[in-house]
């Protein structure tokens, strides 16, 4: 400067200071923001006056750097002999890159974590003041006022001082507010009375994180994801920041990268080696082509075969035909292993959870959580094999481009990259609400189809096919419109990014050509730049859109983590042994139970069933009968007292052995959408076809099955919808007969069976009950008159017990009342001597007492419950 800004002694120091200025401020700001985010430092709003003052000073700083760059550029254009001082120009260009996003953050953020900004202001003042003083010593006094860069430095130093002081005032103010809020926290919990009411604390958010998450929610497509986001914010708060939060996912690492699996670990090693060699070859391949170009430019008539062969070799190794296919295969092995291990882990965990989870779960959420292994794997893969190599590529690219030409070329690429990423983030944020709307419309369209198909009978009953067609057509149109809206916003961002890269590439080429024309650089460098361009720009797309993928992957991982952290309410105790059933004696001792503490279900039940006895539970609906069977099956643990089988507390034995010893025929059986044979074999996986058919004969379903076109191979439909209610229950009975358990539980097992079939099943039950303890829940009292003990339950308590005849002798008793109601129609029919619509049925065999008469009146009583007829051959008809 007159632009030689330093004498020989100070010049190296000033040059170093110029080069280090922007990186020091920028990396401090990024590091401080990352640290604040990791420790969940609270963000606080600042007043509009303070914000405007800070923004004015930061904009003044930015404009000063732009002005200095324009000064250097204009002088270079006016005087081709003039060359701007590169250290000063680099300092200005770097500072523009640093202060532009910092100002945008100050402008757009409603609340700020102030320490990163104050630290950046302090560093800026220290560096700018030092630069200004060093420049002053290098310039004669009489030339200082006419030296434009020096004048700008002085103005900038003053602005930096004011900015630091303003930031210090804001920091002091924020500390004072914090101390004031701490003093308020020590006041009475009731606080000050306003209009006669106590001030209530705001518990709707989790501080700064909750506010940030709330803004993220607007871009989330589902309500379930919003809930997961809230839980994520809460866990962030509990863990004290992102570091503790991410440690929670460490439980997945042994499943993603198992140390004992040499195949997976070997593939991981191959992938890491491929990443390293790819970084080298990304640089060597275009460089080699530049070397070939420079040798061809000599026009000495010699073919550079050696360099050509190296270029071909580098290109081959770096292609998918070379080491790429090995990397792809290794990635496939790792992904499949992770998917298999984590999916089976989640699946096994879900099946091991207690009934309280399965009765309150959202099935879609559970299924989605089980399928999240791929999301976890893709998250780690993206971090290890995409983002980290990309950052390394960008650093190497900036250095190499500077080596090929100069630092100005690197800054052209840096500015283009920063603008590219900014546009990507902006348009992604802008388009996500429309994407959410598009996804919701898609979901509604799919829901309409599913509802209509599943409820086809309702549509047919009310003749609403045309209405459903119009409704679905309207949903399709809404989906298409939403897609167009989302497409235009999303593609607008892509178009701007492509426009930016086009002009950025043109600018780099023009800049490179100018240096070649002036003879400062060889043509080979330009060829290298063109070939290297894709390597430099391809990571920009990943960086600009990766945050959305990372966010969604974290949500999926959080969903899976929460599922795995859900503990079963009923779990085997440490050292629990398998149950050993000898006689099958069952005893309830002072049993209490509740689903909700506010509403007890079972109250002080004492009951003892001897081995081989049949115990019947009767009473009105909701009294707790089915809950007794669930407790016996240990779907829930008692909240008071104990349940014993042959003197063994159910809580001291394994659930698996207990359920092996029990057999249950539920009131509403559910089958898999498989063949009848497969459904029955589910009770005993090694059962032969002959055993299955014998069980079906005993359950009086064999004749129905062989009447179907495909016999035992007939598919039953989803949840068994192709069978009638009676057929479903008889298949359920056949499964228990095949299992041949020690203790049998029948929950309204004959409720959907007609009288003639019931007689046969009762006979089968007698055979099954011989030597086995049987618990029966029955509303049709005629089916349990031969029970050894009938227990009447009302509101969770045993109010009567005894045999059928003993309970009938209790005048005014509950059982007597129920029996009288059910037999009233029969007595009326007998007195009027009305002809019976069907004869009474009695079944006898050599080993059993005569069954009771099943009368038409009792059939009517059963029919009144709404059960379906057991003779409905649905599978046969539909086939």
Dihedral (Cα; 713, 714, 717, 721), 10-degree rounding: -130
Q: Which stretch of 445-449, 550-554, 609-613 has the lowest confidence by average pLDDT?
A: 550-554
Alpha helices in 298-372 (DSSP H): 305-317, 325-352, 355-358, 363-370
pLDDT digits (tens, 9 = 90+) for 410-437: 888 888 888 888 888 888 778 878 887 8
Residues 854 and 758 sit within 8 Å (Cβ to Cβ): yes
CA gap 810, 790 in Å, rounded: 13
In this predicted structure, the answer to whether residue 687 has a pLDDT above a threshold of 50 is yes
- Of the two residues 878 and 729, the one the predictor is more confident about is 729
pLDDT digits (tens, 9 = 90+) for 108-143: 877 777 888 888 899 999 998 998 888 887 777 777
Identity of the highest mean pLDDT range in 9-13, 50-54, 525-529 = 525-529
In a domain, 458, yes or no: no
- Tokens for 637? 């643990």
Confidence label for 473 from pLDDT (cuts 50, 70 and 90): very high
Reference 289, options 639, 621, 524; nearest CA is 524
How many structural domains comprise the chain? 2
CA gap 729, 867 in Å, rounded: 11
Q: Which stretch of 133-137, 154-158, 546-550, 631-635 has the lowest confidence by average pLDDT?
A: 546-550
Q: What is the DSSP string of 511-564?
A: HHHHHHHTTSS-HHHHHHHHHHHHHHHHHHHHHHHHHHHHHHHHHHHHHHHHHH
The average pLDDT across 657-686 equals: 86
In a domain, 298, yes or no: no
Q: What is the DSSP string of 660-699?
A: HSEEEE-SS----SSBHHHHHHTTSTT--HHHHHHHHHHT
pLDDT of residue 474: 92
CA gap 12, 22 in Å, rounded: 17
pLDDT digits (tens, 9 = 90+) for 274-315: 888 888 888 888 888 888 888 888 877 788 888 889 989 988
pLDDT of residue 764: 64
Alpha helices in 702-800 (DSSP H): 702-706, 725-739, 755-769
- Tokens for 738? 């095949």
Q: Which stretch of 179-188, 525-534, 747-756 has the lowest confidence by average pLDDT?
A: 179-188
In a domain, 131, yes or no: yes
Q: What spatial distance separates the first Cα and last Cα of the chain, rounded to whole Å?
A: 97
- Tokens for 479? 């989906």
In a domain, 196, yes or no: no
pTM of the entire structure? 0.62
In this predicted structure, the answer to whether residue 625 has a pLDDT above a threshold of 70 is yes
Residue finishing a domain among 153, 182, 211: 182
CA gap 750, 741 in Å, rounded: 19
The tokens 């700008």 sit on which residue? 152
- Tokens for 383? 């971090």
What's the chain's average pLDDT?
A: 77
In a domain, 711, yes or no: yes
Q: The CATH number of the domain where 846 resides is what?
A: 3.40.50.300
- Of the two residues 812 and 595, the one the predictor is more confident about is 595
Reference 687, options 676, 674, 678, 698; nearest CA is 678
The average pLDDT across 464-493 equals: 89
Q: Which domain holds residue 655?
A: 586-878
Confidence label for 361 from pLDDT (cuts 50, 70 and 90): low
In this predicted structure, the answer to whether residue 811 has a pLDDT above a threshold of 70 is no
Confidence label for 480 from pLDDT (cuts 50, 70 and 90): very high
In this predicted structure, the answer to whether residue 841 has a pLDDT above a threshold of 50 is no
Which helix or strand (DSSP H or E) is residue 415 part of?
A: helix 407-454
CA gap 787, 615 in Å, rounded: 6
Residues 877 and 708 sit within 8 Å (Cβ to Cβ): no
873, exposed or middle or buried, with CB in 10 Å at 0-12, 13-18, 19+? middle
The tokens 């089980």 sit on which residue? 370
In a domain, 658, yes or no: yes
In a domain, 161, yes or no: yes
Confidence label for 761 from pLDDT (cuts 50, 70 and 90): low
CA gap 221, 216 in Å, rounded: 11
In a domain, 203, yes or no: no
- Residues above pLDDT 70, as percent of the chain: 78
CA gap 250, 248 in Å, rounded: 5
pLDDT of residue 857: 36
In this predicted structure, the answer to whether residue 586 has a pLDDT above a threshold of 60 is yes
- Of the two residues 54 and 40, the one the predictor is more confident about is 54
* CA-angle at 717, arms to 711 and 719, nearest 5°: 120
Rg, the chain, Cα only: 40
CA gap 511, 401 in Å, rounded: 12
Dihedral (Cα; 360, 362, 366, 369), 10-degree rounding: -130
Residue finishing a domain among 123, 158, 182: 182
Residue finishing a domain among 182, 201, 231: 182
In this predicted structure, the answer to whether residue 672 has a pLDDT above a threshold of 60 is yes
In this predicted structure, the answer to whether residue 175 has a pLDDT above a threshold of 60 is no
CA gap 819, 813 in Å, rounded: 10
């Amino acid at each position: 400067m007159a632009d030689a800004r330093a004498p020989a002694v100070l010049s190296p120091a000033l040059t170093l200071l110029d080069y280090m200025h922007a990186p020091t401020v920028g990396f401090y700001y990024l590091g401080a923001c990352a640290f604040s985010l990791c420790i969940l430092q609270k963000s606080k709003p600042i007043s509009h006056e303070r914000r405007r003052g800070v923004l004015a000073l930061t904009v003044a700083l930015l404009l000063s750097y732009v002005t200095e760059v324009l000064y250097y550029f204009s002088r270079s254009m006016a005087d081709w002999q003039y060359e701007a001082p590169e250290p000063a120009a680099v300092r200005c260009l770097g500072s523009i890159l640093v202060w532009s996003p910092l100002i945008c953050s100050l402008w757009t953020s409603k609340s700020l974590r102030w320490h990163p900004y104050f630290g950046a202001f302090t560093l800026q003042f220290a560096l700018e003041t030092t630069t200004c003083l060093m420049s002053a010593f290098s310039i004669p006094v009489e030339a200082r006022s006419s030296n434009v860069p020096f004048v700008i430095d002085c103005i900038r130093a003053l602005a930096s001082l004011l900015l630091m002081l303003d930031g210090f005032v804001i920091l002091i103010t924020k500390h004072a507010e914090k101390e004031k809020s701490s003093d308020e926290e020590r006041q009475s919990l009731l606080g000050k009375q306003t209009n006669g009411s106590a001030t209530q604390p705001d518990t709707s958010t989790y501080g700064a994180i909750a506010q940030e998450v709330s803004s993220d929610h607007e871009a989330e497509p589902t309500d379930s994801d919003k809930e997961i986001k809230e839980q994520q914010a809460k866990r962030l708060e509990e863990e004290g920041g992102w570091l503790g939060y991410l440690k929670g996912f460490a439980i997945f690492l042994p499943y993603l990268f198992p140390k004992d699996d040499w195949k997976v670990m070997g593939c991981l090693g191959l992938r890491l080696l491929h990443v390293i060699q790819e970084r080298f070859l990304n640089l060597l391949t275009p460089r080699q082509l530049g070397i070939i170009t420079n040798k061809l430019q000599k026009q000495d008539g010699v073919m550079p075969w050696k360099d050509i062969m190296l270029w071909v070799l580098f290109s081959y190794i770096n292609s998918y035909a070379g080491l790429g296919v090995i990397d792809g295969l290794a990635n496939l092995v790792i992904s499949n292993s992770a998917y298999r291990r984590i999916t089976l882990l989640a699946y096994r965990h879900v099946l091991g959870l207690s009934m309280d989870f399965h009765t309150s779960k959202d099935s879609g959420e559970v299924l989605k959580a089980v399928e999240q292994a791929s999301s976890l794997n893709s998250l780690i893969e993206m971090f290890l094999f995409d983002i980290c190599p990309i950052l390394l590529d960008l650093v190497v690219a900036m250095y190499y481009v500077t080596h090929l030409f100069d630092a100005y070329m690197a800054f052209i690429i840096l500015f283009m990259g920063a603008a590219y990423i900014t546009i990507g983030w902006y348009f992604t944020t802008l388009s996500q609400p429309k994407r959410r709307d598009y996804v919701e419309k898609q979901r509604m369209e799919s829901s309409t189809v599913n509802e209509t198909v599943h409820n086809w009978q309702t549509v047919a009953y009310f003749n609403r096919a045309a209405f459903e067609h119009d409704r679905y057509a309207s949903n399709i149109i809404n989906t298409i419109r939403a897609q167009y809206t989302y497409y235009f916003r999303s593609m607008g961002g892509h178009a701007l990014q492509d426009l930016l890269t086009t002009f950025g590439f043109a600018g780099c080429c023009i800049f490179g050509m100018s240096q070649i024309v002036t003879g400062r650089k060889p043509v080979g460098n330009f060829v290298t730049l063109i070939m290297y361009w894709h390597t430099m720009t391809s990571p920009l797309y990943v960086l600009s859109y990766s945050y959305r993928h990372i966010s969604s992957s974290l949500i999926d991982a959080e969903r899976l983590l929460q599922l795995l952290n859900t503990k079963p309410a009923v779990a085997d105790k440490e050292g629990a042994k398998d149950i050993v059933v000898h006689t099958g004696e069952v005893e309830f001792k002072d049993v209490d139970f509740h689903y909700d503490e506010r509403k007890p279900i079972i109250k002080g039940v004492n009951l003892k069933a001897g081995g081989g006895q049949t115990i019947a539970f009767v009473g009105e609906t909701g009294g707790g009968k089915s809950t007794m069977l669930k407790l016996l099956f240990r779907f829930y643990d008692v909240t008071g007292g104990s349940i014993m089988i042959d003197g063994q507390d159910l809580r001291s034995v394994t659930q698996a052995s207990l359920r092996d010893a029990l057999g249950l025929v539920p009131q509403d059986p559910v089958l898999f959408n498989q063949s009848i044979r497969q459904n029955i074999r589910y009770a005993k996986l090694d059962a032969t076809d002959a055993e299955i058919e014998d069980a079906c004969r005993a359950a009086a379903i064999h004749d129905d099955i062989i009447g179907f076109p495909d016999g035992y191979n007939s598919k039953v439909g989803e949840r068994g919808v192709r069978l009638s209610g009676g057929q479903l229950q008889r298949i359920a009975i056949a499964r228990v007969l095949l299992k041949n358990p020690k203790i049998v539980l029948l929950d309204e097992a004959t409720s959907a069976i007609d009288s003639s079939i019931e007689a046969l099943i009762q006979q089968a039950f007698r055979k099954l009950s011989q030597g086995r303890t049987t618990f029966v829940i029955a509303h049709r009292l005629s089916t349990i008159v031969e029970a050894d003990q009938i227990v009447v339950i009302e509101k969770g308590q045993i109010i009567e017990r005894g045999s059928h005849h003993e309970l009938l002798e209790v005048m005014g008793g509950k059982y007597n009342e129920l029996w009288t109601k059910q037999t009233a129609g029969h007595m009326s029919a007998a007195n009027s001597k009305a002809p019976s619509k069907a004869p009474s049925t009695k079944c006898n065999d050599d080993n059993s007492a005569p069954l009771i008469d099943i009368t038409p009146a009792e059939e009517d009583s059963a029919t009144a419950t709404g059960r379906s007829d057991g003779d409905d051959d649905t599978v046969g008809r539909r086939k």
